[in-house]
Structures are given as structure tokens and as C-alpha cells.
């Protein structure tokens, strides 16, 4: 099972996401659920890495593990909105996957101050 932790700051200033494990929907290389998780994460990372004013730290050190932490560097409402929107995108995507494939994806979502 792929476990996803998504932590979003209430004010939109920070976002932390970890996905780990293999969904075990199909064999490696043919697993559509694992591919969906990966593309959600990589799309978010790609969008964030191209955004000036957001600090991004990623970890892809292990197979089946992908995480990132993003933080707005200055008090900028547009950057906070962008980061919050990307968090909403991830939440919607992972909720959809966990509903359709409950034995393969588990989402743990948290809002923090």
C-alpha cells in the first residue's frame, strides 16, 4: 500500500508531503496506481521548483519514497495562494485515488497552524 501524508499550513505558507510504499495494484512497471501517485507528486514538485520565492526541499533517496517540503520565504499572499492551491490539487488527487483504490492508497491529511 502507498501511504501519503499531506500537511498544509492553515495560512498557506507551508506544505509538506510524503508518499511511501508501493500500491501493489499490479507488478512493478505496470502499476497504474503507483504511476498516478508519482505523477501527482512530480507535477507538484515541478510547479514548486519553478516558483521564485518558495523554498523547496525534496527527498527521492529510496525507491518507493518521495517527499517534499515547501515554504514561502516572505509574507507574500500570491505565493501563499499558489502553495495552498498546489496543496488542494494534491489533496483532491490523493482523495480520489484513495476512494477508487482503498486497498492501495491511504491519505492522511492534516492542517497545521
Domain housing 77: 2-112
**CATH number, domain at 83?**
3.30.70.1490
The total domain count for the chain is 1
Q: Looking at residue 105, what is its pLDDT? A: 98
In this structure, are residues 93 and 35 in contact, taking their beta carbons and an 8 Å threshold? no
Asked if the model's pLDDT at residue 36 lies above 90, the reply is yes
pTM: 0.93
- pLDDT, residue 55, reads 96
What is the per-residue pLDDT for 4? 98
Residue 28 binned pLDDT confidence (cut-offs 50, 70, 90): confident
Q: Does the structure show a pLDDT above 90 at 63?
A: no
pLDDT in tens, 71-81: 999 999 999 99
C-alpha cell, 39 = 505523477
Amino acid at each position: 500500500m502507498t501511504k501519503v501524508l499531506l500537511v498544509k499550513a492553515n495560512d498557506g505558507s507551508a506544505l509538506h508531503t510524503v508518499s511511501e510504499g508501493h500500491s501493489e495494484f499490479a507488478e512493478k512497471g505496470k502499476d497504474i496506481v503507483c504511476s498516478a501517485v508519482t505523477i501527482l507528486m512530480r507535477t507538484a514538485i515541478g510547479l514548486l521548483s519553478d516558483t521564485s520565492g518558495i523554498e523547496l526541499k525534496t527527498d527521492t533517496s529510496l525507491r518507493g519514497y518521495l517527499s517534499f517540503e515547501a515554504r514561502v520565504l516572505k509574507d507574500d499572499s500570491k505565493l501563499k495562494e499558489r502553495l495552498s492551491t498546489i496543496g488542494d490539487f494534491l489533496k483532491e488527487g490523493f482523495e480520489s485515488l484513495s476512494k477508487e483504490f482503498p486497498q492501495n492508497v491511504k491519505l492522511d491529511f492534516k492542517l497545521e497552524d
